[in-house]
Amino acid sequence: MSEKRGKIKGPRPSLRLRDSFSNFETEDHHLAGPFRPQTPLDAQVDSPVPSPASLAGRKDPWSTKSEGLLADIRSWRWVIVPRSSFTILLIVVVLFCNWELITPYVAPGVPNPFASLLFISHRVPTSSPDDPRYAKGYLDLVFIAYYIVFWSWVRQVITLHICWPIARWFGIKKHAKLARFGEQGYAMAYFAVMGAWGVRIMSQLPTWWYRTPYFWIDYPHWDMKPELKSYYLMQAAYWCQQLIVLVLNLEKPRKDYYELVAHHMVTLWLVGWSYLINLTLIGNAVYVSMDVPDTFLAFSKLMNYIQFTRAKVVSYITFLVVWSYFRHWLNLVILHSVWTEFDLMPETSKRWSPQDGVWLVWWMKYQVFTPILLLQFLNIFWYVLIVRIAYRHCEREVEGG
C-alpha cells in the first residue's frame, strides 16, 4: 500500500498489519483482539459511539450514571456504576464494624458473619500463629463475590477519574479513543500490581524464580500461605468481574464478543481447576509469566495513543524483550517441568483422592500439560504478529527515507 493510501482520514472498518507500527491498535487484527490484556473495557472498543441525537428521548444503556442503588443492583449495572459498587462495598464494611463494636456487649464470642467477605477464611487450626496456613473452603466463594464488586469499583475509578482526565490533557477527545486509553491505563495498573505481587509471593516460596522441581515436591500443597491464597482469590474475582460485564452486555459489545467470552471462561476454568487440585505453586508461576509482560504491553499502547514517538519505540522494544522472556522462555520452562518432573511428587500422592487433597493420577500429567502447551501455541501466534508489526514499521521508515 502506498504512503498516501496509508494516511486515509476517518475511521476504517479494518486495517492491515503492515499499515504502520503506530497503528497497532487497529480494530480487526489480533493485537487489538485476543492479544491485548483482556480487560472489561474490551467490550466497548470497536463499537460505534451513538450520537447525542440518536440518544435523545431514551436512556444510554451503557451510561455509568446511577439510577439508584436498588435499581442498579436489579439491573446489574452496579458493575459499571462506581457510585453503586462503592456503596455496596461500604455497606459491608459498616456492617462488619458495627458487629465488632456491638456484639461483644450483646453476644460475646459470636463470630462476625461479615468477616469472610473482607478476609480469607479456613485457617488451618494446627498452623503456627507465626506462620499461619489456610486451606480451601466454600467461604472462598463469598470472598470472591465481595471482591468482584471491589474490582468493578476500582476499574471504573481508574478509567473514568484518572485515565480519562489524563487522556484529555494529551488532547484525546473522541469517546472511542478515551475508552481505549482508559482500558489500557486500567490494564497497566492491574497487571503491574498483580505482577509485582505475584513475584513477591514467589520469592517466599520454594519455587522462587522457577525452581520447577518444587512444583511437585511435597505435593499436595493444600495449606497455603495467606498471601498466596489472597492472591489466587483476587485473580479469580478479577476474571469473574470481566466475564459478568461481557455476558450481561453491560458495555458496548466488540466484534470478537464470543471470543472474549470463551477466553474468560477458559481462564476461569484454569484458575479454578489449579486451585481445586492444589497446584497453586505452578499456578503462581504461570500468573507471573503472563501478568508481567501484559504490563509492558499496556504501557506501550499508552505511549502510542499519546504519540510520544521515541517513548513508544523504546517501550515497544522493551515490551518485545520482556514478552520473549516471560511468555516464551518461562512458559517452555514450565512445560518442561510438567513433562519431565511430574513424577517427583511423593508416590502416596499419585492417586485420585479428593478427600486427601491429592488428584494427580498418571493421566493428569497430560491434563496439566495440554492447556499450557495450547497457551504456548497462542503465544507463538501472537509473537509472529508482534514481530511483523516491528518489521512493517522498519520497512515503512526505510521507504520514507
pLDDT digits (tens, 9 = 90+) for 276-291: 999 999 999 999 999 9
In the block, cell 520514507 appears at 400
pLDDT 10s digits, 209-240:
999 999 999 999 999 999 999 999 999 999 89
Q: Give the model's pLDDT for residue 177.
A: 85
pLDDT bucket at 398, cuts 50 / 70 / 90 = low
pLDDT digits (tens, 9 = 90+) for 311-324: 888 998 999 999 99
pLDDT over 50 at 13, yes or no: no
Distance CA 304, CA 160 (A): 20
147 pLDDT above the threshold of 90:
yes
As a whole number, mean pLDDT of residues 365-385 equals: 85
220, 156, 222, 167: which is closest to 189 by C-alpha?
156
Most confident of the following: 15-19, 50-54, 161-165: 161-165
Predicted TM-score (pTM) of the model is 0.80
Give the residue-averaged pLDDT of 346-364. Answer: 91
pLDDT at 82: 93
Q: What is the pLDDT of residue 21?
A: 39
